[in-house]
Amino acid sequence: AQPVLAVVGRPNVGKSTLVNRILGRREAVVQDVPGVTRDRVAYDAFWAGRRFTLVDTGGWEPDATGLQASVAAQAEMAMRTADAVLLVVDATVGATTTDEAVARVLRRSKKPVLLAANKVDDDRLLADTASLWSLGLGEPHPVSALHGRSSGDLLDSIMAAL
Ligand code: GDP
Ligand code: MG
């Protein structure tokens, strides 16, 4: 079976946009309407001559347990079912307490975890991404899912981890 990469993170950080960027197409998966994105959607992806399965863990709407608990539960699920996990954070916001809670869960992972600092649409935001080292998940990979900036570099790192 091909390796599985799960994409996790808070709502609105750009997970689905990044997934579409990686897939090289614009699908109607990105939804601004809360609750519209289905819970987990798996896609067949391809990079550098290798196939892998890309899982977009959308629909992390805060349930009765609250946002932090529901996002942490998704991270646990990703760690169990995927071969590697990509945590996406919004570089324009920085690390929130929810990001920190998810990172705490992911730091226990025996599987590779990568960190994408999304929405780095221009160079002025690059300096801010350094603060994301504090999440304890290694090097933050700056990307702009919207514009495609550095997504190739991120994919190279992902393939090296898978
Ligand atoms: P998700 O909830 O994490 O799946 O986030 P979405 O992919 O649905 O994106 C949420 C919002 O962020 C949408 O309005 C996107 O257009 C926007 N967005 C995603 N990636 C970027 C980016 O790289 N730069 C900017 N400026 N906006 C982005
Ligand atoms: Mg989504």
Domains in the chain with CATH codes = 4-161 (3.40.50.300)
Contact 38, 58 (CB under 8 A): yes
CB 73 within 8 A of CB 51: no
Pocket flag, ligand 1, residue 16 (CB < 6 Å):
yes
The closest residue, in CA terms, to atom 14 on ligand 1 is 32
Which pLDDT belongs to residue 115? 98
Identify the pLDDT of residue 35.
Answer: 43
Q: Report ipTM (2 d.p.).
A: 0.99
What band does 70 get if pLDDT is binned at 50, 70 and 90?
confident
Known binding residue 8? Answer is no
Calculate mean pLDDT across residues 30-43. 55
State the residue for tokens 């226990």.
108
Residue-level pLDDT at 39: 55
The mean per-residue pLDDT over the stretch 108-116 comes to 96
Distance between CA atoms of 71 and 16, rounded to whole angstroms? 15
pLDDT band at 34 (very low <50, low <70, confident <90, very high): very low
Query: DSSP state, 135?
Result: G
Higher-pLDDT residue of 72, 94 = 94
B/e letters for 147-162, b = 16+ CB within 10 Å, e = fewer, are eebbbeebbebbbebb
Atom 17 in ligand 1: residue holding the nearest Cα: 14
Q: How does the average pLDDT of the chain come out, rounded?
A: 86
**CA 3 → CA 74, 121, 123, 161, distances in Å?**
19, 29, 33, 10
Residue 120, pLDDT score: 97
Using pLDDT thresholds of 50, 70 and 90, give the confidence band for residue 77: confident
Ligand at shortest distance from the CA of 30: 1
Ion ligand 2: residues, CB within 5 A, are 15-16, 37, 58
CB atoms within 10 A of CB 139: 13
Any atom of ligand 1 within 6 Å of the Cβ of 151: no
| pLDDT computed for residue 24 by the predictor | 84
Specify the residue with its C-alpha closest to ligand 1, atom 9. Answer: 14
Q: What is the mean pLDDT of residues 9-25?
A: 89
- The number of the ligand 1 atom at minimal distance from the alpha carbon of 32 is 8
DSSP 55: E
pLDDT of residue 74 exceeding 90, the answer is no
Position 1 pLDDT exceeds 50: yes
